[in-house]
Amino acid sequence: MRKWLFYSMMVGWLLMTWGAHASDFGYKVPSSNLAKVVDAELIPQSKLSTDGRWLALLKRRRVVALDELTLPEKALAGIKFNPATFMRNSSRMYSAIELKHVETGSVIKVSGLPKGKLRDVQWASNSQFISFIVEQHSKATLWLFDIKTRTVRQMTTTTLNGVVNSTAYQWLPDSSGFIVNFAVNHGKPQLSESAQQPAPIIQQSSGVKAPARTYQNLLSNPFDEAQFKFFAQGQLAKLSLDGRAKAIGKPTYLKSFSISPDSTNLIVGMIDEPFSYQVRYSRFATVWQVWGMTGFPLYELAQQPLADTIPQGFDSVRTGPREFQWRKDKGATVLWAEAQDGGNMKQTAEHHDYLYSISSPFKREPELFAKVKDRFSSIQWADENIALLTEWKFASRTVRTSVISPRNADERRVIFSERSYNDAYNNPGRFIMTKNDLGVGVLKLVGGRYLFLRGNGASKEGNKPFLDRYDVKTNSTTRLWQSSAPYYERVRAMLDDEGLRFITLRESKLEQPNFFIRDLTFDSLTQLTRFVHPYPEFQGITKEQIKYKRSDGTQLTGNLYLPANYDPSQGPLPVLMWAYPLEYKNKQVASQVRESPYAFPYVGYWGPMPYLAQGIAVFDDPKMPIIGEGAQLPNDNFRSQLVASAKAAVDVLVDQGIADPKRIAIGGHSYGAFMVANLLAHSDLFVAGIARSGAYNRSLTPFGFQGEERDFWQAQGVYANMSPFFHVDKINEPMLMIHGAEDPNSGTFPMQSQRMYAAMKGLGKEARLVMLPHEGHSYRAKESILHVLWEQEQWLKKYLMPLPNIEEIDNIDLTLLAPNNSQGDPNSTLY
């Protein structure tokens, strides 16, 4: 009796402690094993020089200090940027650059740089230089490292402008210098809102349909417009290697610029008024021109009006000329697309797009280059005889790539690949690129007929990356190499013209990724890097790819991770599932396996993996396909398919004796958070949920969301059935919601979580809402990430971990339960 009385008292004390600490302020830190994951170094990103001699290894900045997020930030026309540096926020920031010689293994560390963040790293086409931007507290300048002299030098003192066009500089293809975009107004007094005269803010529609997704950070008043002009204005300049800059044209609101392959001309896109309060800058009116290197307009390509009436649909486009680009096989020839269907793919048309071109000196009329059956996607150029034209269609999820002759693109066109873009098994891979004699990126073409592809090699047995050679003349492919068990190895770059020598990134379930040189002629493998194990505390965890079926016969897979030293005799474990729904038009495609069973276990702080350290099994990425075959659309049966997928995942783990059915939690981010709320509302499979940066009320995203093209008024039933906000009364399990307080992502504005929490609280449901200051859709500050790990850890402890048994209670020191005890770990606050 004493034990049961004590047990009841302990439970009551735990609940009181929870209540006392649930409203604690301040950032928390999780258990040490979880905290160490945040500091683990990732495999560097890599960039190979054109000549294949140097591999640039870029050390990534995974997290930033919270102080960096508190710096002034502007959000205008759908862009967030630093007003002090005139640079957009980016996740591709680096802390160091190291150059490794491919043949000798010698290493050069790029040193002598000022303190700051490195970004936009680019090789010169002649492989003699590597350039990058150093972003500091109040400026962002261009720097250059000379491979021959092993010296670094600052190329600009004036700050570059990466606000609208995030590419603030480009190498001239001939490697003689750069085209840069200077921030004209950097250092000038910024505009003051208090100096603006108040006035009514008026918007008026013209009766023409103008569907737009729920974009955030849009312009909203005349002061916003004035600020946008101030920060968007840039001055193009030609910068030589000796640091001399010569202005090109006059300052303008630069949207885009690109350099002709012969380094003589520019395509320039300039934003024009009127601006819009409904759409992002990418749809603003834009004037497109071809300039000479002095800035003199040689040819006007288009005057695009404000594009706020583009028809609804993912493959709908603006009317008139669009997607201007240089032909990579010519010195100065411009190509662009024009819709033949009013921009609406739902309209019947023999050809939905035409491609046109015009060449220097831009005196003749444009010529029809090619007719495109579906919507134009891209062209990859090899030479004047061979190019690859890709088109697509959303309704059927079709992507088609054809081999064309640029001399006559509509004759002798050969289909290289035609498939659903979701079809991983028939994905031919990506073509290997190189630099041509002009110094621009083109397809690697050998002997006038052979191209090379590297791909994931998805199969029923999992991903088996490959290197293929494609013969243009026979339209046939030969496999040169393929990864084999027990390794997961993929090609990163070719080092010869035959596909016999190449750089790979190789790993296994026990060996962390490293770069190797594979030589097929000598059947040799030479290790190029020796990165250490990033998570020594997690050595010993096991991974298994689980295959199972949904009730409708759809084959599903997921990756099961078990804690280190797990013994099946211990019995079932608590399980955390982490998933993300995807949409398909074909059941067979939805059933495909898309991971390798031999990949190294990545224990990142972003997903569920850290909680293996708490003795929790992880079922990562159990597939949740939403399928709509034929005339049926995927979301017509979203809820039933989602629950069926989740039930199949739970059943397979329970049947195998791995999972305790009373201790399974579900988690997800963004659309995965939307999934979590739906599963808690429409099933009883899980005891708790973790939902991060989600959307829950689809009536707040009335013009489509995720893969849904129909608007709210066309499919009110679908919107209502899919919105967990409309079904909060059915949620019987506790849900932890985490959201960045400044989330700019379309559809997941912070109000979504705030209103969902208010609904759950109002109906007496158990929920916790955590709003992270200064964070967006993903979380960047170390303090924020540690706190997220702590929140999730405490939530899982509370709902997944069992209370101590009677024998353990007998061994508890009662003094530890005293409310005034202050000798414990300050980071171990009970949840």
Sheet of strand 333-339, all strands in order from the earlier edge strand to the far edge:
321-326, 333-339, 353-359, 367-372
CA separation for the pair 432, 429 (Å, rounded): 9
285, 272 Cβ separation under 8 angstroms: yes
88 touches 167 (CB < 8 A)? no
In order of 355, 374, 386, 471, 621, the CA distances from 414 in angstroms are 18, 16, 11, 12, 38
**Residue tagged 């296994």 (tokens):** 508
* Among 743, 746, 753, 787, the one annotated catalytic: 743
Residue 575 near residue 632 (C-beta atoms within 8 A):
no
Residue with tokens 């970004």: 119
Contacts 24+ apart (CB under 8 A), 562-567: 562/612, 562/617, 562/658, 563/612, 563/613, 563/615, 563/616, 563/617, 564/538, 564/539, 564/540, 564/612, 565/540, 566/542, 566/617
Nearest to 564 by CA among 608, 524, 609: 609
- One DSSP character per residue, 74-93 reads EEETTEEEETTTTEE--S--
SS3 content of the chain, % helix, strand, coil (to 5): 20, 35, 45
The full length of the chain comes to 831
**Judging by DSSP bridges, how do beta strands 169-171 and 177-183 pair with one another?**
antiparallel
517/521 Cα distance (integer angstroms): 12
Q: Phi and psi at residue 354, in whole multiples of 5°?
A: -115, 145
Alpha helices in 745-810 (DSSP H): 751-762, 782-800, 806-810
The CB density around residue 365, as the number of other CB atoms within 10 Å, is 6
Cα distance between residue 675 and residue 691, in whole Å: 8
Name the active-site residue from 272, 497, 508, 777: 777
Please indicate whether residue 146 is annotated as part of the active site: no
Collapsing DSSP to helix, strand or coil, 194 comes out as helix
How many whole angstroms separate alpha carbon 288 and alpha carbon 257?
10
Q: Are 340 and 354 in contact (CB under 8 A)?
A: yes
- Cα separation, 427 vs 417, whole angstroms: 8
Strands (E), 206-284: 233-240, 245-247, 252-259, 265-271
Cite the beta strand spans of 360-432 per DSSP E. 367-372, 375-381, 387-393, 398-404, 414-420, 430-431
**Contact by Cβ (8 Å): 109, 96:** yes
Classify 740 in phi/psi space as left (phi over 0), alpha (psi -120 to 50) or beta. Answer: beta
- Is 670 marked active-site? yes
d(CA 525, CA 203): 65
What's the rounded Cα separation, in Å, for the pair 229 and 790? 43
Active-site residue, 459 included? no
Catalytic residue (one of 175, 263, 670, 753): 670
The angle subtended at Cα 384 by Cα 383 and Cα 386, nearest 5°, is 65
Catalytic residues: 670, 743, 777
